[in-house]
A and B are shown apart, each in its own frame.
Chain A
Amino acid sequence: MIPDDRLYTEQHEWLKVEDGEAVLGITDFAQQELGDVVFVELPAPGQEFAAGSEIGAIESVKAVAEIYTPVAGSIEAVNDGLEDAPEVVNEDPYGEGWLVRLRLREEGPPNDLMTAAAYEAQLAG
């Protein structure tokens, strides 16, 4: 259920690291808790962020969720398709519903993130 090809944060985000880049999205649990997503606000490509900073927001009909990046880096690309079809975050959170792609500032995988198994345990716990 929870893809094991990526890492997870306590705030229900996933990060898929490859060749010095990372794709960021929210988990299936997160999209379910938010409900119908109606608006996604993403940063401009090129913007630089420190680890832990707020980079945008996802709004459902009744809730607002801020998006944080768990890693430092610059925005390489954002998922433009979400502007007209924010519901894709609900429909395919681990795939087409990705949010941003970052160029990592530091080499190597980030330390303090969870594996799929650990994240699953957090959800169960």
Chain B
Amino acid sequence: MRAAPARTASRARSLRVESVDGELPRGDLRGRDRRALAEVQRTVLYRRHVESGARFGPFAGYEMPIQYEGVLAEHRAVRERAGMFDVSHMGEIRVRGPRALPLLQRLTPNDVGALHPLRAQYSALLTERGTFIDDLLVYCLDPEDYLLVVNAASRARDLELLETAAAAEGHGVQVDDQSDETALIAVQGPRAAEIVADVVGGEAAELRYYSFLHQDGANRMTSRTGYTGEDGFEIYLPSERAEDLWAEFLERGRDVGLAPAGLGARDTLRLEAGMMLCGQDIGEETTPLEAGLSWIVKWKKGDFTGRDALARQREKGCRHRLVGFEVEGRGIARHGHRLTVRDAPGAAGPVTSGAFAPTLGRAIGIARLDCSSGGPPAPDSAASVTVRGREIDCRIVKLPFYRRPKAGA
């Protein structure tokens, strides 16, 4: 048997580490060849993961827990009870000062001016072509103090872009990379609220989606956000306190079945929820309009990087579209396979994410279609993907694939 990470079609000479996604170095599965990991960092929770029996893999320069008990069990825990993720590899960049707001307004497409204190916003850093450098969250602590949460893989580039822009503002804005001293723990699932409220304070349960608590004394932020499609929280705190908080959550969550969950489950959860992964589904070849994220582009707020290109695209229409699809035949479409829409053979393109969806019990994916010969394919259009020389039936579906049941329903 020879195994390769699903993301790459390459045939490994021996079994290889399951890679989750992203631009990963890959290591030998036997776990002895650590050369690929030589430069790799660990989060402050590494020892906790070892204690919990984690299997690790490289992700964006970090040695991260990929799974503990198993991806399916962890995925189910998050959908049915609660799961806890260490996502401390994410970058945290603080932007402060009287000129912070105008700077962020100019650099991001969403309207930071509409953001109230203790609210967060999904946004992006774009190129002049309107394509993604990174997607990110903007947290407003007060109108002169923002925290940007960015992807680990693009952190250095984001920081450089922000620092360059800040330098042009003179003394009006200060940019600090707080990533190394900040840990991030996500607790996600229908039972997350009771666990988190018990540990960080009852106010957490009252938070609205995309709101957060800022507990100044503990230098801790708890936001009702996540990357799983479930109710959940993300807790930012000083690295030196992360081990204690992780243990507290595990202890408090024991009787409701909280499970530590790795990046493997995180990826299947976010894909079911129709959430894009930057560096894989979206990136420097994709604009928010092509990705179905036009809601993060606020035309009335004034100028921002990429605006002109996006305005032209809005007028002319998008040539490429990210679309969701379900596999109807037997098989799993993976990153790099090619999806073709049957009635519009011109509408074809690579699968950007593809996996077996544990909650749905079938394979799903996102593909980047060239739609130049017509508009985007209608939901329900028949399509196909070729896997190991075999054509498998697929169907275009609207994103998300999975929506959580309404509370109380």
Contact = CB atoms under 8 A, between A and B. Distances in A.
A39 interface: yes
A36 B1 contact: no
A63 interface: yes
Tell me if A's interface is mostly helix, strand, loop or mixed. Answer: strand
Contacts of B264: 35, 61-62
A58 interface: yes
B71 A36 contact: yes
A39 B361 CA distance: 11
B88 to A, nearest CB: 21
B71 A33 contact: no
Nearest to B5: A63
Contacts of A58: 1
Most chain A beta-carbon neighbours within 10 Å: one of B6, B268, B358 = B6
Contacts of B18: 33-35, 60, 62-63
A85 interface: no
B355 interface: yes
B2 interface: yes
Interface residues on A, range: 20 to 34
Contacts of A61: 71-72, 264, 268, 355-356, 358
A64 B5 CA distance: 6
B14 interface: yes
Interface string A52-86: 00000111111111111000000000000001000
Contacts, number: 89
A68 B19 contact: no
B284 to A, nearest CB: 25
A13 interface: yes
B11 A66 contact: yes
B334 A36 contact: no
Q: How big is the B interface, by class? A: 20 to 34
- Chain B CB within 10 Å — which of A11, A35, A57, A61 has the most? A61
Contact of A62 (B1, B19, B73, B363): B19
A114 interface: no
B217 to A, nearest CB: 41
Given A33-B15, A38-B332, A39-B331, A62 B6 contact: yes
Contacts of B332: 38-39, 59, 64
Interface in A1-47: 9-13, 26, 30, 33-36, 38-39, 41
Interface in B247-266: 264
Interface in B195-223: none
Contacts of A9: 1
A60 B19 CA distance: 12
B67 A33 contact: no
A61 B262 CA distance: 13
A57 B15 CA distance: 13
B358 A65 contact: no
A9 B15 CA distance: 12
B388 interface: yes
A105 to B, nearest CB: 21
A64 B358 CA distance: 16
Interface of A: 9-13, 26, 30, 33-36, 38-39, 41, 57-68, 83
- In order of increasing CB-CB distance, the 7 nearest A-B pairs are A65-B3, A38-B356, A62-B18, A61-B71, A63-B18, A36-B72, A11-B1
Given A39-B331, A62-B5, 14 more contacts: A10-B14, A11-B2, A12-B1, A30-B1, A33-B3, A34-B18, A35-B71, A35-B264, A61-B355, A61-B356, A61-B358, A63-B6, A64-B6, A66-B11
